Structure 1
Amino acid sequence: MMVATSGGAWRWLLAAGAALVLLSATTADAASTVRRGRAPLAAGTSALSAARSLRASQPDFSYYMNTEAVWSEVSQLVSENRDWMQLDVVKKTAEPPGADACQVQYREACKDEYSIEAKIVTVEADFPSSGPPRARTGADDDPLHMYFIYGEHARELVTVELGVAVLRSLPDLPAPLTRLGFTAEESATILAVMSRATLKIAPMENTVGRARLEGPTKALCERKNGRGVDINRNFEVDWNVREIDYDRNEEFGGFAKLSEPEAQVDVEVVRAFRPHVVLNVHSGMEAMFTPWDHQGGAPDDPAVAVQKGILDEINARTCDGRCVVSPGGLGVGYLAHGTLTDHMYKVEKVPLVSTWEIYGDWDVPVDDCFGMFNPITRDGLKAVIDQWLRATFLLMLRLPTHPGMPASIRALVDGPGDSGEPETGDTVYKHLRGGATLTPLRDDPEGPYGTAPATQPPAPTAAPADAHGSEPDSGNDGPTQGPQPGGDSWDDRASAGGGPRHSWPAIMAVVLVVAVAGMVLIRMRRRRRGGPYLPVNSLELPTMRRAGS
């Protein structure tokens, strides 16, 4: 039905439609660039950004540790317990890819070699039921090896606090277990596991990125390393595969597989150490993830179902059931490619790999990056550390039930069981202790999480010009996916010979419908992604969604 409208009213309608289209386009651009990214700084936004930063919370280093305090405490702990603690410093250097391969804010760092010093603490001790830990006497023929990684993303300061807290608790065992609510029997099992284990801890993996956060720029949203690469996108599995809303400013996976020194150190440690457990700790939400990150389902491995059961119990006992427990690609709300978790599970064959997300505040102001990823009060920080310290020891308590652990650990649970090595083949682990048989996941079309594994993404197309800057990508960061811009304008179509001509009322009606629909879809997509997209840093106006991994 057509309604007669005055020319003035149509002009107002045209203006409103144009405003809606502009708002929708701006929001859509933000939605694509904030996917853990940095939106380009529009003209006139510097003052607004600076004003917003006054409202954003800042790290209080009277109860958070800065980098110097972290390494001071770690060094002191190692010195005081040198019989069973050791600090190794691994120096690693990567060749420069060339300044043109980096985005603007990292271009200087890309001109020269990029060097890091990775610091890793090794713990190997006997933990008696009373008295302090002591140097282990005698060699264990079948030890448990665990590798815990904290601070892979610089902005997630709370994860470094947890890593140091784990180290801090060890000399006082078993007293911290009692304080955290473990029974005497549970504490005895945890101590037995620890006495049969060698634990390596990287308290702060991304030291150069952390320096940017603490430095003059106060880059409180810094996620990447010192030359603009997301370490957790630099590993081999599905490296450089991109989603439609990929933003290289935040998820750039590097100049080649394992191009970054931090990722190289992780791989070298794992190949030399051969851990049974790799734990990668992040913040941005409350969750515990199994593989896969690059698919929406779990691997075809019954041991992963056992892992989920362990994480479910941890969720019940530490999160009151509110933590997400699922494959990463299903629970976080998006697919991530080139991650540490998928690499360690698929390439290095680590039996139990998990990403933990230990904190996220979705109620902070949209410009508060620090508050989004970290508790902002002393009491809040203590509560988070206690919660996830308890979760860490709960993981150790339940490791004997996992079929991928060594026989010396599996022997700690009651009941008969095969103490031999796990079987190989399509079904890696077939039997739990006590004789229970697990059905291969491929026989269950729904999978252990109620969702069948996702298929591989389609083959990528050639990369278009950089959508976020004035110059195109150098080509070093590979292909991209997604629809390409194109198509004639309304005026072109209307004026072309033989083409239909459209009245302005009809055009504006369509514009309004499209604009409203676009805004609704963007809101739905934000909800699917697990939270709104946020502008945060006052200097560079970076934006991201609320997830750490």
Structure 2
Amino acid sequence: MFILLLLNISFALPDFYHQFDSINLNQYSNCAKIETLIEDPKVDVITINENAKFKAFLLFGEHARELISPETGLHLLDSICNNKYDVSKYQIKMVLNLNPLSRMRVENGEYCLRLNENNVDLNRNYDAHFKQYTDMEQQTNSGPEPFSEPETRAVRDLLKSYKPNMFLSIHSGSAGLFTPHAYSMEEPQNYEELMKVLNVIREDHCPMCETGLSSKNVGYLAFGSAMDYAYDEIGIKNSYLFEIYHKDVNMINDLRVESIKKQKRSFLELKDDSSNQECFDYFNPKEKEQYDWYTQNWSDAIIKTLGLVEQQSNEDIILAHN
């Protein structure tokens, strides 16, 4: 047992990953207006181009062990600040790291930690087809009631006040581009329109990604998710979830569609006694070349998604006035 514990804690966070508690978001003040929601814990919200008409809400880091999600958000922000993308048409709100207290613990070696500081799965805590269940072994504890957590309340308040045209949540642990719904096998009314966007992203950025209805593709129902809340309760008809990394799907060199079948070993099989090394590898690239490729690829994909949805929204407006 002692040897096993040594093996579990011996893996150090690669130095190209960020320590989020040491990031001073004020460094981006020249290219973005910074808002800070003083909740407990604090949730940092970055707003870009606050006068642009098309509004997008980007959510990173719901699950602490999915380090590559906030890393991609940070890369996207750096790229915007360095004028690598033309985002003049888009007003963007970014929550870079929704689960900061648990993220700090992951950075310090608890690589299997998914839940927040109250042992709640944030992506089961929204008031959208909420179902209370306590499964600590699988780390899908919903919490005692919807919005019991300060993090999900912060997202709720932002979505209600911001009223974006598009919602996108970034995760890892699979390779997929998903639409609502997560709680049922029911397709959303505008499923075909959502799929037009995802099919382009799949072709250009993730040919091996499973694409379509979230519940159908991941193989289980997820109640109380952020995406379903955005779609069903806030009314954001362009709501998506991207799963951007899985250790058994090599997006860089292996573009065979059949490689996706390896990922069917669900994250739910990662028990509390899984090694820290196994958890890190499952959700995050560990080589610098992979890290650079994934953060760049998915930053490009997010910007392309903004453009596709904005264009589609304008076409819908034109049709409505004809």
Shorter-chain TM range is 0.7 to 0.9
State the AA in 1 paired with 2:70. V
Distance 1:381 1:259, change over 3 A: same
State the AA in 2 paired with 1:277. M
Distance 1:171 1:212 in 2: 29
- 1:309 Cα deviation after fit: 1.5
Matches of residues 184-223 of structure 1 in structure 2 within 5 Å?
A: 191=86, 194-215=87-108, 218-223=109-114
In structure 2, the gaps of 5 or more residues are: 249-261, 264-269
State the AA in 1 paired with 2:297. Q
The answer to whether residue 123 in structure 2 is matched with residue 123 in structure 1 is no
Q: What is the TM-score when the length of structure 1 is the normalising length?
A: 0.51
State the AA in 2 paired with 1:77. Y
- 1:241 Cα deviation after fit: 5.1
State the number of aligned residues. Answer: 297
Q: Deviations over 1:211-258 (max 9, x none)?
A: 22234xx2111111111011100011221255xxx7234111112111
Distance 1:282 1:239 in 2: 20
Q: What is the TM-score when the length of structure 2 is the normalising length?
A: 0.85
Distance 1:370 1:75 in 2: 29
CA contact (8 A) 2:180 2:214 kept: yes
In structure 1, the gaps of 5 or more residues are: 1-45, 93-114, 126-138, 178-190, 421-434, 436-549
- 1:121 Cα deviation after fit: 0.4
Partner residue of 2:135? Answer: 247
- 1:52 Cα deviation after fit: 4.2
SS of match in other structure, 1:116? coil
- RMSD of aligned alpha carbons: 2.4
CA contact (8 A) 1:57 1:376 kept: no
The answer to whether residue 256 in structure 2 is matched with residue 333 in structure 1 is no
CA contact (8 A) 2:21 2:104 kept: no
CA contact (8 A) 2:132 2:142 kept: no
SS of match in other structure, 2:42? strand
Q: Deviations over 1:187-213 (max 9, x none)?
A: xxxx4xx32321100111100111222
Matches of residues 358-397 of structure 1 in structure 2 within 5 Å?
A: 358-362=244-248, 367=275, 368-397=278-307
CA contact (8 A) 1:65 1:161 kept: yes
Distance 2:113 2:69 in 1: 14
Partner residue of 1:315? Answer: 202
CA contact (8 A) 1:278 1:354 kept: yes
Q: Deviations over 1:266-312 (max 9, x none)?
A: 0100110000111110100111110000112412x1x2211112111
Distance 1:238 1:47 in 2: 44
Distance 1:322 1:346 in 2: 28
Q: Deviations over 1:374-416 (max 9, x none)?
A: 00011110011111111112112211443xx3xxx448xxxx9
The answer to whether residue 79 in structure 2 is matched with residue 169 in structure 1 is yes
The answer to whether residue 215 in structure 2 is matched with residue 305 in structure 1 is no
Select between 354-363 and 219-228 the one with higher mean Cα deviation: 354-363
Matches of residues 489-528 of structure 1 in structure 2 within 5 Å?
A: none
Partner residue of 1:132? Answer: none
Distance 2:191 2:80 in 1: 28
Partner residue of 2:251? Answer: none
Partner residue of 2:19? Answer: 66
- 1:332 Cα deviation after fit: 1.0
- Of the three residues 273, 290, 294, the one matched with 2:183 is 294
Identity %: 22
Partner residue of 1:229? Answer: 120
SS of match in other structure, 2:41? strand
State the AA in 2 paired with 1:262. E
Partner residue of 2:266? Answer: none
CA contact (8 A) 2:73 2:299 kept: no
Distance 1:198 1:401, change over 3 A: closer
Query: Could you say which structure has the larger radius of gyration?
Result: 1
Partner residue of 1:352? Answer: 238
- 1:57 Cα deviation after fit: 4.5
Q: Deviations over 1:153-210 (max 9, x none)?
A: 111111111111111111333xx35xxxxxxxxxxxxx4xx32321100111100111
The runs of 4+ residues in structure 1 deviating greater than 6 Å are 363-366
- 1:419 Cα deviation after fit: 4.5
CA contact (8 A) 1:57 1:371 kept: no
The answer to whether residue 194 in structure 2 is matched with residue 269 in structure 1 is no
Distance 2:16 2:310 in 1: 36
CA contact (8 A) 2:180 2:228 kept: yes
SS of match in other structure, 2:187? coil
The answer to whether residue 38 in structure 2 is matched with residue 91 in structure 1 is yes
Distance 1:57 1:261 in 2: 31
